[in-house]
Structure 1
């Protein structure tokens, strides 16, 4: 109990000494309590005042002071705890033990027992779960009427002079991009500082290595700011000496010849980078598959305003092609077929252009989701002191199945929809199966086709198919069963080839309703026809589906014979020529001509479906499908043995849209040679919507000097340009 009392006393003294201390314990002012108006309650003191005062040092009698006079006044005072332990009675005094020597026994009443502080029940409660606490959301007042004041400024550029860099600077300037508005003046200053750095970088990149730039802000009388950027270009540095650190190459001087820099050229960053990129391009084209271009060094001389250019190059070993390897979790085909597609053989000098060509050809197959072709250094010697280089193809096969559709409309031809399902690799490598359906108002049919691309040779395609078809036009009605096989070399959107060809054979069994002569008498006949068609094309246009320049030529010759009864051989031939001339970036003038003939047989001995017709989309617009040429007594076309066609079209494009105006002309003749007389004309307008795979086309045309029974106008809808 007395130890507890001593602790309370220590606490009280600590408070007293803290109050008496000349140094503040905390930088905080305690507010004064209001004066009490209530008399303090009578409480029993812990120690009587007399005893408490008697125990204070130096508070005793004169004799006591004298007896303590020998004490060293400079000796350190005992601690409060030690002093209290000396003054308080020992713990055993409660059991009647004598008081400690030198201390007087307590004469006051027994001290009251110490009590624990009261427990606050609210503080004793457990804290609530964190997710149960709801924090009030402080939402700022949304005062739409109150707007932050806007800082307006003007931009002034000085010092650009005749450098020709002001337009380029303005295109990237932060000040110019801000359009004279900012939220704060500090933001304008930041833009000005950014433009300082931009100007210096720009001038350095053009050879002005002494250029400096300084931006400043001036307050105008109207309260706006003027941001002034002053540039001092300095002199423009030129190349003095060109040094290349590299071993000798084959052919000699390959690196220097590929580096398109000359002494006296200005040190322009884009020109230097382009020259180095050309070196990195040319070395792999001449056998150096693993060439490396080092870091350039340009040593500037302010005295002569020139710079010495140094470029280290490591060409690496000169290599030749060896083998192709491939890997991939899901492969379209193996390395043996890739060797068929490649345009190089083992031992050929390595050429990166042939590697790129192989990669493009693999992409053109449409069988890969991803494909990469990389050279592999083998370290094994090859012919003529070279080193063998392997090619590794990392492949991942893509979806092999594809659905496609086509929809069109033409006057006289009606609506025509064609759909197809293709498995492009059902018979690897590149063996495709195609099933097609035609559904139209005038034509219906089904067919199946097997096609093998890159069949034994790059770009060579073998195709065989069978089909059943029904056609019902004003000129004839035919039910046809056909078999065909062909070899071809055709263009694709990725590889538009200059020369294309197709040759093969077909056999047709056709039951047709035909007009015997102009009298209009009809008769149904069955024709058994064999043909050996050959087609050769030459293409110098710049695009397969939307050409804007160049020309195309196409020749088709098909020796044929009617095999039933007496064999009647004949030859069907046609020649097409189309040209495209860009008047401007948005306007193209296009023209087309065609002549065709059937030689060796009378018209009526040719199956109606094999005769020559004209009119409609892709022929002479303004007329119905097959509407031109000789007609029977019912005014239905009966076809002919020769044709000529002409067309001129102006194409104007704006964005993804376009309009066209055109004049078409043509006629069909019964004679073997086109007469170029009685030409029929059609004029019209059209619209185009351009997409990534070609334009959608809609044309409307009307005939000139329309004859009885001919259409007043004709509408054509399809994909791609008319020619």
Structure 2
């Protein structure tokens, strides 16, 4: 039996070999688990300044015997000799220090992969780093070129978890409400990966905090390797601490907002059982206001006499004004450039105002209006006033003057949408609006003037973890809009539309994500020719069916010109795979079509497939998609290329 070295592991049996303890005049070495965690520190290999004038070049060779690819890569990534080989150390002493540190680093890597009986041999010019005359050996070797350094690793047997116990630090007895070992990845018989023990400690603290214990902590742990059976026994001692409720909330730093703006949105009554998730939802809700840059939650270090926990919210403001520009490119949909100016706190109550000016180019002749100018524009303003009735009610207004060029029509219009959005909870909201439009539209039948007045009801349910790059959760957006006036159709028609998307990450690092989307809609109560062209449904292009021209998977007239439909159906499936931290590939399939009938009949569905490239940035992924139609018609192209910011859905 061997107790692993302190302070990462505590010795618990007389049979354990003593851990080495640094003397007072020695440089203290970090625990092996700290070294293990340091392998994931992005600054571990940071450039440490200009080359030393006494640089000692070396050439390192690493051999991991009888090891698979993942173990070899783990050892190589842990090795400082390998990662800093491009940067020679200072003098012989620097090379020796680097070699000695590799023992600890590689040991931590072996532990991380479940190997606790490994042997590590390091030779510098054929000598051990601890050799009495090692400096003379290095100086002699460097005269002949780079100093040869060889690292041999024998990992030994793969250890599995043996006895695993989650114990009360005070009574030393099992905690009855501990999470199952399978969830902690500490199940007996499974590979004894050290990283699983590290993660389990955090998971245990999170578990008890989620159960209402704000001061839960791991007091200590015993980890003992049994070399006779190649098993690792683990005992983790937890102090859950007292159960608490939420007490008083104090807000600081919110002077840039109207009084009680933040307090009115806390919505956590005193006496509510303590929950970190409730606090996280509060933080996410508050930073959803554009005026707020960040919210830091500070929990008190002790409970009040009534068992409640005081909470302080430290709020920081964003810069109130901003400007920017954006652009999109599509070989099938056309391109656009947009410049914008905005204010995040217009009157001091979190009001937002954004002004946009967009110029677009359709990229080809419109099928319906072939002599139309391909250039379009849109000048728009959007305004949000939080808390017009209660803290849950926001005033939303959007107005635009635009010219739009598509294959089916060319539209010049003035639009206005004014509504109230009510938030029922952090995931569910309903917006009721007045939708007004006055437009002149030219299509294959000629030019018509259309007035539109409707009352859209928009229901949104959203549990996504990130708007631009979701990895978990679902989103549903449904719209029901009865029209008081819809062009030549007059009063009575109703439009209904819904979009549902879901996301699932298969691993904790979110490197493998499956994403799916389904959308459908219908306009009923009016004939197709009575519905204004811009309010019909169209499918095709980067926002719906990639690989097909914009609107091309839509009904056509006898001359083959797109006229749109009264219903549509779309579906997409993507596999989002991160190759590196910044690069990802996305294979995908799309399907969809629009229909003349009031409801989709699924006849004549179009299909496409393709692959995308993602470059992940701090503000979201940059998207490049290449798609190919699978069952193209005679008027369809060979491929579609799309560039934009954010995922496709």
Interval containing the TM-score (normalised by the shorter chain): 0.5 to 0.7
- Identify which of 491, 514, 518 aligns with 1:568: 491
Matches within 5 A, 1:46-65: none
| CA distance in structure 2 between the partners assigned to 1:280 and 1:605 by the alignment | 63
- Identify which of 462, 471, 476 aligns with 2:409: 476
Query: CA offset at residue 351 of structure 1?
Result: 2.8
Does the Cα contact within 8 Å between 2:179 and 2:207 map onto a contact in 1? Answer: no
Query: Secondary structure at 1:569's aligned position in 2?
Result: coil
Match of 1:322 in 2: 247
Does the Cα contact within 8 Å between 1:511 and 1:525 map onto a contact in 2? Answer: yes
| CA distance in structure 1 between the partners assigned to 2:63 and 2:202 by the alignment | 37
Relative distance call for 1:171 and 1:689 in structure 2 (3 A) is closer
Matches within 5 A, 1:658-673: 666-673=592-599
Does the Cα contact within 8 Å between 1:615 and 1:628 map onto a contact in 2? Answer: yes
Q: CA RMSD in A?
A: 5.9
The superposition leaves residues 462-507 of structure 1 with CA deviations (integer Å, 9 ceiling, x where unpaired) of 412333333344533444333323344799xxx9x7x555431223
| CA distance in structure 2 between the partners assigned to 1:166 and 1:636 by the alignment | 61
Does the Cα contact within 8 Å between 1:698 and 1:718 map onto a contact in 2? Answer: no
Mean Cα deviation higher: 573-582 or 605-614: 573-582
Does the Cα contact within 8 Å between 1:377 and 1:388 map onto a contact in 2? Answer: no
Query: CA offset at residue 539 of structure 1?
Result: 5.9
Match of 2:435 in 1: 507
Matches within 5 A, 1:313-712: 313=239, 315=241, 318-328=243-253, 331-333=255-257, 336-376=260-300, 380-382=304-306, 387-410=307-330, 414-441=334-361, 442-453=375-386, 461-488=394-421, 500-513=428-441, 521-527=445-451, 529-537=452-460, 544-546=467-469, 554-562=477-485, 567-576=490-499, 593-631=518-556, 636-645=561-570, 654-655=579-580, 656=582, 666-679=592-605, 688-692=614-618, 693-699=620-626, 704-707=632-635
| CA distance in structure 1 between the partners assigned to 2:519 and 2:610 by the alignment | 20
Query: CA offset at residue 345 of structure 1?
Result: 0.9
TM-score, normalised to structure 1, is 0.58
| CA distance in structure 2 between the partners assigned to 1:282 and 1:581 by the alignment | 22
Relative distance call for 1:389 and 1:455 in structure 2 (3 A) is farther
Relative distance call for 1:570 and 1:375 in structure 2 (3 A) is same
Relative distance call for 1:338 and 1:255 in structure 2 (3 A) is farther
Query: CA offset at residue 394 of structure 1?
Result: 2.6
Number of corresponding residues: 555
Who wins on radius of gyration, i.e. which is larger?
1
Query: CA offset at residue 312 of structure 1?
Result: 8.7
Query: Secondary structure at 2:600's aligned position in 1?
Result: coil
Matches within 5 A, 1:78-477: 172=78, 194=101, 244=168, 246=170, 277=202, 280-290=205-215, 313=239, 315=241, 318-328=243-253, 331-333=255-257, 336-376=260-300, 380-382=304-306, 387-410=307-330, 414-441=334-361, 442-453=375-386, 461-477=394-410
Query: Secondary structure at 1:601's aligned position in 2?
Result: coil
Q: Structure 1: where are the runs of 5+ without partners?
A: 1-146
Query: CA offset at residue 350 of structure 1?
Result: 2.7
Relative distance call for 1:415 and 1:381 in structure 2 (3 A) is same
Query: CA offset at residue 193 of structure 1?
Result: 5.2
Mean Cα deviation higher: 502-511 or 620-629: 620-629
Query: Secondary structure at 2:257's aligned position in 1?
Result: coil
Match of 1:108 in 2: none
TM-score, normalised to structure 2, is 0.64
Does the Cα contact within 8 Å between 2:304 and 2:310 map onto a contact in 1? Answer: no
The superposition leaves residues 307-328 of structure 1 with CA deviations (integer Å, 9 ceiling, x where unpaired) of 997969593x654323222233
Query: Secondary structure at 1:396's aligned position in 2?
Result: strand
Does the Cα contact within 8 Å between 2:118 and 2:153 map onto a contact in 1? Answer: no
The superposition leaves residues 579-621 of structure 1 with CA deviations (integer Å, 9 ceiling, x where unpaired) of 6789999887766554432211122322222222333332344
Match of 2:23 in 1: none
Does the Cα contact within 8 Å between 1:150 and 1:183 map onto a contact in 2? Answer: no
Query: CA offset at residue 443 of structure 1?
Result: 3.5
| CA distance in structure 2 between the partners assigned to 1:350 and 1:471 by the alignment | 53
Query: Secondary structure at 1:331's aligned position in 2?
Result: coil
Mean Cα deviation higher: 604-613 or 408-417: 408-417
Relative distance call for 1:477 and 1:182 in structure 2 (3 A) is closer
Q: Structure 2: where are the runs of 5+ without partners?
A: 1-53, 128-140, 362-374
Query: Secondary structure at 2:493's aligned position in 1?
Result: strand
| CA distance in structure 1 between the partners assigned to 2:331 and 2:155 by the alignment | 71
Does the Cα contact within 8 Å between 1:589 and 1:648 map onto a contact in 2? Answer: yes
Does the Cα contact within 8 Å between 2:58 and 2:85 map onto a contact in 1? Answer: no
Does the Cα contact within 8 Å between 1:239 and 1:266 map onto a contact in 2? Answer: no
Higher relative contact order structure (alpha carbons within 8 Å, sequence separation ≥ 6): 2
Query: CA offset at residue 569 of structure 1?
Result: 0.6
Does the Cα contact within 8 Å between 1:591 and 1:648 map onto a contact in 2? Answer: yes
